[in-house]
């Protein structure tokens, strides 16, 4: 190769480098570096060919080659800066301009949302949050709540019994209601007291659209001097209106629970059938939805907790969380709340 040919080759390499470096989208600068400036790169091979050229011509050619090399290095450094090519991602051949893998955002379960909303309602009314165990003893789940052994009201709340060697002689069961938290709260604290609790309960029930062997309840208890049914009515009515809107009405029907006297079931006016009364599938055309059990705390319950019933009185209420969740989010079958089908869960964010 003579000097003229060598110069021609150098300018061809520079041209091809200029084309490569200005390509859109940008080429991987590491690959370009290897191709042009690497040990076996185009420019390195050309510089090696200098040895075939007479000594006196070699010097200025070498200088030309070096200038070309420096220019290429500077351009490559610029490109690396623009693409962040110095990082390990580019070294590994990862294209940072591609969209990332979808990373779906999790969210709270509709039942958790509902419990939080109910809790907010009672916190606003000055209630504090109380707690109790899921594995409960017979005394707190039944006896202290005025269900003596063999009381027929126990039949409605059959459950799962726990056979534990270290139960200290207590008969243990999965709690059937959150009402035991009433007892545990009064045992812990002197009156006056205003508490609520949300949590899971269990019953030996066949699963269908409105029953499950495990479900959730909210419980409330207020004990003070002179607390009456009127306080209960105001509290429940305010709470329901806060959740479902002020147009909703509530009504109390007499009912029986061993731990309250008088006892009531609380209905709210159906929120679905305003225009189609008589045919609404949710309230079965009655215009009312049963929402809570409630009543004035039975003196036997106060006595069991060493509260003097002559001095103190209170009200208690309890309700199924699933019912609230289904109404708040328009879910028609309770099982949808447990199947964890993302198509359902995603609708409640
Ligand atoms: N614990 C009752 C039930 O599960 C509901 C209730 C709670 C009733 C508090 C009255 C007062 O059916």
Q: Is residue 170 part of a domain?
A: yes
Please check whether residue 101 lies inside any domain of the structure.
no
In a domain, 336, yes or no: yes
Domain end marker among 58, 91, 124: 91
Q: Confirm or reject: Cβ of 294 under 6 Å from ligand 1.
A: yes
Q: Which amino acid residue places its CA nearest to atom 9 of ligand 1?
A: 317
Q: Is the CB of 157 under 6 A from ligand 1?
A: no
pTM attached to this predicted model: 0.72
- Looking at the structure, tell me whether residues 302 and 340 fall in a common domain: yes
Query: Please, are residues 282 and 272 in contact by the beta-carbon 8 Å criterion?
Result: yes
Q: Quick one: 158 and 300 in the same domain? A: yes
Q: Are residues 213 and 148 in the same domain?
A: yes
Going from the Cα of 256 to the center of ligand 1, the distance in angstroms, rounded, reads 9
pLDDT tens for the chain, 349 residues: list them. Answer: 788 888 889 999 999 988 888 887 778 888 888 999 889 989 889 889 888 888 888 888 888 889 989 998 888 888 887 765 456 666 677 788 888 888 888 899 999 999 999 999 999 999 999 999 999 999 999 999 999 999 999 999 999 999 888 888 889 999 999 999 999 999 999 999 999 999 999 999 999 888 899 999 999 999 999 999 999 999 999 999 999 999 999 999 999 999 999 999 999 999 887 655 567 878 888 899 999 999 999 999 999 999 999 999 999 999 999 999 999 998 888 999 999 899 888 888 7
Q: Which domain covers residue 48, as residue numbers?
A: 3-91
Q: Same domain, yes or no, for 63 and 155?
A: no
CB of 260 within 6 A of ligand 1: the answer is yes
Among 144, 216, 236, 257, name the best residue to mutate to test ligand 1's pocket (greatest count of ligand atoms within 8 A of Cβ): 257
Residues 188 and 321 in one domain: yes
119 with 268, same domain: the answer is yes
Of all protein residues, the one whose alpha carbon is nearest to atom 3 of ligand 1 is: 177
Whether 123 and 223 share a structural domain = yes
Which residues lie below 8 Å from residue 148, measured CB to CB, with a gap of 6+? none
* Residue 96 falls inside a structural domain: no
Domain count, the chain: 2
Span from the CA of 299 to the centroid of ligand 1 (angstroms): 16
Protein residue closest via CA to atom 12 of ligand 1 = 293
Same domain? For 48 and 146 the reply is no
């Amino acid at each position: 190769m003579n000097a003229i040919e060598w110069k021609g080759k150098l300018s061809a390499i520079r041209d091809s480098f200029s084309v490569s470096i200005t390509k859109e989208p940008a080429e991987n600068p590491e690959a370009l570096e290897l191709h042009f400036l690497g040990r076996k790169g185009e420019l390195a091979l050309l510089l090696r060919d200098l040895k075939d050229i007479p000594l006196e011509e070699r010097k200025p050619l070498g200088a030309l080659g070096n200038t070309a090399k420096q220019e290429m290095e500077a351009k490559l450094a610029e490109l690396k800066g623009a693409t962040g090519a110095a990082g390990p991602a580019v070294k590994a051949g990862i294209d940072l301009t591609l969209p990332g893998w979808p990373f779906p955002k999790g969210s709270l379960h509709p039942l958790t949302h509902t419990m939080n909303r109910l809790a907010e309602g009672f916190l606003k009314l000055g209630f504090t949050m109380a707690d109790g165990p899921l594995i409960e003893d017979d005394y707190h789940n039944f006896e202290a709540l005025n269900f003596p052994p063999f009381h027929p009201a126990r039949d409605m709340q059959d459950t799962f019994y726990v056979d534990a060697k270290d139960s200290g002689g207590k008969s243990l069961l999965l709690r059937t209601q959150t009402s035991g938290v009433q007892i545990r709260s009064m045992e812990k604290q002197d009156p006056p007291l205003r508490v609520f609790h949300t949590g899971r309960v269990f019953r030996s029930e066949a699963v269908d659209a409105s029953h499950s062997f495990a479900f959730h309840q909210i419980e409330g208890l207020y004990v003070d001097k002179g607390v009456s049914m009127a306080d209960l009515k105001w509290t429940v009515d305010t709470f329901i209106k806060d959740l479902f809107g002020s147009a909703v009405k509530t009504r109390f029907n007499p009912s029986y629970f061993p731990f309250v006297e008088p006892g009531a079931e609380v209905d709210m006016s159906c929120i679905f059938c305003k225009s189609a009364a008589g045919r609404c599938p949710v309230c079965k055309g009655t215009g009312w939805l049963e929402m809570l059990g409630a009543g004035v705390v039975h003196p036997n319950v106060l006595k069991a907790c060493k509260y003097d019933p002559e001095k103190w009185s209170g009200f208690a209420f309890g309700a199924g969380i699933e019912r609230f969740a289904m109404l708040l989010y328009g879910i028609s079958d309770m099982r949808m709340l447990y199947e964890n089908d993302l198509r359902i869960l995603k609708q409640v964010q």
